[in-house]
Structure 1
Amino acid sequence: MRLALLEKAARESRLAHLLLFHGGSALHQREVALRLAQFLNCSYTTAEGPCQECAVCRKILSGNHPEVSWLKPLKTSIGIEQVLAWQEKLYLKHYEGNYKVSVVEQADLLTLPAANSLLKVIEEPPDRTIIILCAENAEAILPTIQSRAQLVYFPDLTEETWLRGLGEVNDQEASLAFRLSGKNQKLAEDILKHGVLLVQEWVGTIRTAIAERDFLKLFALFPIEKNQALLYLQVMAVQASYPFEFLAIGKAIDELRQQANPRLVIEVLALELFQRGGSRCD
């Protein structure tokens, strides 16, 4: 579904109660979700769009509107406890505005119990409520949820467009983050938040250790938190040049997401790459 048609449906209050945003960048998805919330609730919507001036528009943009809510992962997943708490708020009576709009960011990180709990809400949605699921990959969403959603594909943005949407950032650092991410905008945003130099330093250290088959050099990589390890390994996966490297790193990422110990995962990965002739990601 094209974004122009999506806005037209919002303007005419004809949106599907469940939308699944996929592709593109999380930033772009978030901007469109906010704009739809404004379309549905703005006091003075025009043919050009929400007025951006009324109290409703300002509250939505500032994150203070009582009918517009966000559900985000805690660390590496969205658990059932989060979904149950979110569900209670969703079924409260309307306090202000025409529509409730609830955005689930990184919905591809829902655990299976959380996804099944979400499905119950989708099957019996509250009146005048729009649920927007945002995901990098629609295929990672439970098929029974996919089948009930209006899919909205976001094409990849150019680096120039992505940089414009970031606001006040160091353009040189942002461009470097974009290149490190392999033009994956969600990953580039995470790199930028974490620190481009930190990512470069860590990835450079593990590459050197693997290239030289020097296990002692791995000690400089620790201590490390799980979310940091996931970010670093995703950067390594993007830059992998050979199938065996990509598959080994992908396996390590899956193990981390299953709550494995990050140090153990990284050491096992390094040993596996030692045996396969060292890193060829350079």
Structure 2
Amino acid sequence: MNLPLVLLEKAAREEHLTHLLLFHGGSAPYRRDVALRIAQILNCTSPLPEGPCEACTTCHKISSGNHPDVLWLKPLKTTIGIEQVLAWQEKVYLKHYEGTYKISIIEQADGLTLPAANALLKVIEEPPERSVIILSAGNVEGILPTIQSRAQLIYFPDPSEDVWLKGLEENNQQEAQLAFELSDHNQSLATAILETGVTALQEWMEKFCQAVSNRDFLTLNSLFPLDKNQAGVYLQALAVKIQKGIQKGSNHPFELLAIGKANDALRQQVNPRLIIEVLALELFQQGGTLCD
């Protein structure tokens, strides 16, 4: 356990924890496990000097996701919308049912839309008593600066490749290894690739590269429909491929810059189809070869 987590648990045991935590880096399952442990520390009915007992009814309810004072918020599809945040807001201000603290765990918090993030900010600025909000995000840059500035940031380093693969036992290990290679050993991206589908990613990138190489705008139609999450994962994987190509001398830096601009537009909630089409046109005009 690294030092920040030791201090985090100590603050939780002593009830000196800030009301807003931002977990970032590492893997989503590990961030989730730490969030649950913090919820247990704050609510355990038979705590031990080193942490929660993990045996009482409260600890069991929290670990199983059934405690009424531990609220979960995650994307319904690709983003967390304002309707979800407003529904959560009603619950977070209710009196505690069983626990000492009410814990809200917001997963994939970098998927908050701008209206949803602003609604969340209102709660952060006037938090309910004895409550802790934990934001979990793979990409801290996707969190509004006004939210970041109010949070205590906890960084999770990436686990080793063996530990990461072991945590994906439900996945085909061959696919997991391929996702790891496609992401250039970026575990967050590799996990996203697995969730999106390795085969789907490879087919999409091949079609996009062919469309660019042939300057064939009509071929782009086969790449859609495409939601924001898929587009983000595909563009990141494409950027990894181009970066490797630049190092080998088979690709040009302007191709990577164009993909970077597309990713920036995606973070600003621009329509994914429009982003891909504009990217393709820019590469057509500048003579991009991409995957050749």
Fold match (TM-score > 0.5): yes
Matched, 1:279 2:289: yes
1:45-56 correspondence runs (5 A)? 45-56=47-58
Q: Cα 1:168–1:112, aligned 2, differ >3 Å: closer, same or farther? A: closer
1:18 Cα offset (Å): 1.0
Cα distance in 1 for partners of 2:280, 2:95 equals: 54
Residue identity in the other structure for 1:101: I
Whether contact under 8 Å (1:79, 1:110) holds in the other structure is yes
Give the structure 2 partner of residue 108 of structure 1. 110
Contact preservation (8 Å) 1:25, 1:184: no
CA distance in 1, matches of 2:51, 2:120: 31
Pick the aligned partner of 1:65 from 60, 64, 67: 67
Displacement of 1:126 in angstroms is 1.2
In structure 1, stretches of 5+ residues that fail to align are none
Preserved CA contact (<8 Å) 2:255 2:288: no
What pairs with 1:167-206 in structure 2 (closer than 5 Å)? 167-206=169-208
Task: Give the letter aligned to residue 122 of structure 2.
Answer: K
Q: SS of the residue aligned with 2:167?
A: helix
**Which residue of 67, 72, 83 corresponds with 1:81?**
83
**Which of residues 12, 19, 22 in structure 2 aligns to 1:20?**
22
| Matches for 1:1-282 after TM superposition, within 5 Å | 2-241=4-243, 242-281=252-291
2:282 maps to amino acid: E
**Within 2, Cα distance between the matches of 1:267 and 1:195?**
22
CA contact under 8 A between 1:72 and 1:78: conserved in structure 2? yes
Hey, what's the Cα distance between the residues in 2 that align with 1:29 and 1:228? 22
> How far off its partner does 1:106 sit?
2.4
Check 1:104–1:240 CA distance in 2 against 1; reply closer, same or farther (3 A cut).
same
Q: CA deviation at 1:226?
A: 4.1
Percent identity of paired positions between Structure 1 and Structure 2:
68
Which string of whole-angstrom CA distances, capped at 9 and with x for unpartnered residues, describes residues 28-82 of structure 1?
Answer: 2112111111121223332443333332222222211111111123434333322
The more displaced of 263-272 and 172-181 is 263-272
Measure, in 2, the Cα distance between the counterparts of 1:223 and 1:5: 46
Contact 2:20/2:134, CA 8 A, preserved across alignment: yes
Contact 2:212 2:290 in 1 (8 A): no
CA separation in 2, counterparts of 1:100 and 1:82? 18
Cα distance in 2, alignment partners of residues 264 and 10 from structure 1: 46
Distance 1:263 1:144 in 2: 29
Does the 8 A contact of 1:24 with 1:157 survive in 2? yes
Structure 1, residues 70-111: CA drift from partner, whole Å, max 9, x if none? 112343433332222111100111001221110122223333
In the alignment, is the contact (CA less than 8 A) between 1:159 and 1:175 conserved in 2? Answer: no
- Distance, in Å, in 2 between the alignment partners of 1:226 and 1:110 is 12
Q: Deviations over 1:94-140 (max 9, x none)?
A: 00122111012222333333323222222221121111112233344
Structure 1-normalised TM-score?
0.88
| 1:166 match: secondary structure | coil
Shift of 1:261: 4.4
- Contact 2:142 2:267 (C-alpha < 8 Å) held by counterparts: no
- Contact 1:212–1:278 (CA under 8 A) maintained in structure 2: no
Asked if the contact 1:77–1:111 (Cα under 8 Å) also holds between the matched residues in 2, the reply is yes
**Given that residues 236 and 281 in structure 1 are in contact (C-alpha distance below 8 angstroms), is that contact kept between their aligned partners in structure 2?**
no
2:248 aligned partner: none
How far did residue 145 of structure 1 move? 2.3
